[in-house]
Amino acid sequence: MVEANLVQQENVFNSMLPDEGRWVLFSTILASSMAFIDASALNVALPALQNDLQASGVQLLWIVNAYLLMLAALILVGGSVGDKLGRKKVFMIGISLFMLASLACGFAPTTEFLIGARVMQGIGGAMMIPGSLAIITAYFEPERRGGAIGTWSAATTIVTVAGPVLGGLLADAGLWRGVFLINLPLGLTTLLVLYFKVPESRNEEISGKIDYPGAILITLGLAGLTYGFISIHELGLSDLRIYGSLLGGIVALGAYMVVQARSAHPMMPLHLFKSPTFSGTNLLTLFLYGALSVGTFFLSLNLVQAQGYSQSVAGLADMPFALLLSGLSPWAGQLADRYGPRLPLIVGPSLAGLGFLLMSFVGLTHGSSEYWTTFFPGIMVFGLGMAITVAPLTTAVMGSVGTHYAGTASGINNAVSRTAGVLAIAIVGSVALCTFAGALQDHTANIHLTQTGRIFLQSQANQLGQTSLLTGVAPQNVAAVEKAIKLAFVDTFRVVMIICAGLAWVSALMAALLVESQDSAGKTPHDQESINC
């Protein structure tokens, strides 16, 4: 179905300018592919990465969040800088930085080095990701723009679907570093095409300053909250650094809101949130995409480290989700156009939450042979819920504000979805680390271990499913300890899935309370009021 969508968009190329239009699409699709492959393939390769670099569970959370944190904080600034200084120029700088950071990630000798490289990758991504659609929008006339965006969407969907499979194959082959290094030929090709074939564009009407104070404050705020929550397991709730970090993050985010309210050129115009639908859809995004980020993160770890799946098979496990999302999104979008987005935004997240709940009931299985009766039903229901949600969510966000602010609204919603991932992985990840330590202690309580062995086992609990015990276990107890480690991770996964289900249902509640219904003319009350004014 995805390939069919791409074929249907092929006629767009024939209606464009002979060369430039094709090169614009080719370069933006290729650049977007780097970001989509990196995001979707890395989750599946994390177990191999953790084993190779001996990363702790806390470090694993940072490997994911270091990138997301910079992306969430700077993506709005990246779009603004491109509009003002030149979209192609900033796009190319972002791609170059993303490539260099990917090279550093691919050859990272230590976990700490990899986390630092991921920070740089996030900065590059914040300059690169907004550029793709901005360049397409600037280049194509309105009558051709929809077809061009459709082609871009279909191609990048295929890449997103293929990402986990690629990540699993590379990890099983001992080549997890290839998840990062594949960005080099993609990036280099894109840079060459952009330099020689794609024209520059900028918004000549922009005269105000870029909101750098806002960018600094939101970065400090998210970093403070992320460090505080992730470090709870290691430092403990009594450590002053935890309270200082969390308080500092809250203060910085509060200052960010003050700056946005007073700035003449804010990166996030707060007056847009006067629309109940805009506020509701962004709250929905915060809760639902937080659940999505942390849920997929722990699903991959569970399948490989506890359930015994190979990483290539784990990459195929959530294929039903990706196929449902790509196949049903056009139908869901048409449904939202005809009946309004409110009902799909209630039903979709509710189904997604049910999917998470179904996965929480899955205990320790005998491997991938039991996939169809264990994880598959939950993934299908979750995928159906997300497929019903995504297109109507975009419709609701874009329709809740005036046309003049459509790009800003889309950028804010994009930033909210990245912020959701940062906060959810930090907070739920911290809960998972604490849960695993307690569950491991419970499951090994009846196993005969020396005091040294028991202490060592607890000290290794921050490795999550990668936990290993090297000393203090009699040979006849090794299998029991290994099973206890897997059972502890399954217990942890259950808690995470229940939290994700709750987040999804809260997002459905936000839609029910705040997203406005459409009248027979297809306009929300807010839209109608704007028209009347």
Q: What is the DSSP string of 101-147?
A: HHHHHHT-SSHHHHHHHHHHHHHHHHHHHHHHHHHHHHHS-HHHHHH
Q: CA nearest 62: which of 433, 518, 522?
A: 433
Amino acid identity at 370: E
Label residue 232 left, alpha or beta by phi (over 0 means left) and psi (-120 to 50 means alpha). alpha
Q: CA nearest 156: which of 409, 329, 336?
A: 329
Q: What is the pLDDT of residue 5?
A: 47
- Residue 141 CB contacts under 8 Å (≥ 6 apart), including other chains: none
d(CA 118, CA 222): 16
d(CA 222, CA 216): 10
d(CA 429, CA 493): 11
d(CA 305, CA 363): 13
d(CA 463, CA 460): 6
Q: What is the pLDDT of residue 56?
A: 85
Identify whether the C-beta of residue 494 lies closer than 8 Å to the C-beta of residue 360.
Answer: yes
Q: What is the pLDDT of residue 525?
A: 42
> By CB neighbour count within 10 A (0-12 exposed, 13-18 middle, 19+ buried), where does 437 fall?
buried
d(CA 253, CA 283): 17
- Token pair belonging to 249: 């993050």
pTM, full prediction = 0.87
d(CA 520, CA 387): 25
> By CB neighbour count within 10 A (0-12 exposed, 13-18 middle, 19+ buried), where does 262 fall?
exposed
How many C-beta neighbours within 10 Å does residue 532 have? 6
Q: CA nearest 27: which of 74, 94, 79?
A: 94
Q: What is the pLDDT of residue 408?
A: 79
Amino acid identity at 345: L
Q: What is the pLDDT of residue 516?
A: 87
d(CA 245, CA 223): 8
Q: What is the pLDDT of residue 529?
A: 36
Distance of CA 312 to the CA centre of its chain: 21
Buried/exposed code over 340-354 (b: 16+ C-beta within 10 A; e: otherwise): bbbbbbbbbbbbbbb
> By CB neighbour count within 10 A (0-12 exposed, 13-18 middle, 19+ buried), where does 433 fall?
buried
Task: Per residue of the chain (533 residues), give pLDDT as tens.
Answer: 444 444 444 444 444 444 678 888 899 989 988 888 888 889 899 989 988 998 888 899 999 999 999 999 888 888 888 878 888 999 999 999 999 999 999 999 999 999 999 999 999 999 898 888 788 878 877 777 767 776 777 777 777 778 888 999 999 999 999 999 999 999 999 999 999 988 888 766 665 677 889 889 999 999 999 999 998 888 888 889 999 999 999 999 999 999 999 888 888 889 889 999 999 999 999 999 999 999 999 999 999 999 999 999 999 998 898 888 878 888 888 888 888 899 999 999 999 999 999 999 999 999 999 999 999 999 999 999 999 998 899 888 888 887 677 767 878 888 899 999 999 999 999 999 989 988 988 888 887 777 777 777 776 777 776 665 555 566 667 788 888 889 999 999 999 999 999 999 999 999 999 998 764 334 444 443 332 33
Distance of CA 174 to the CA centre of its chain: 25
- Token pair belonging to 365: 């299985």
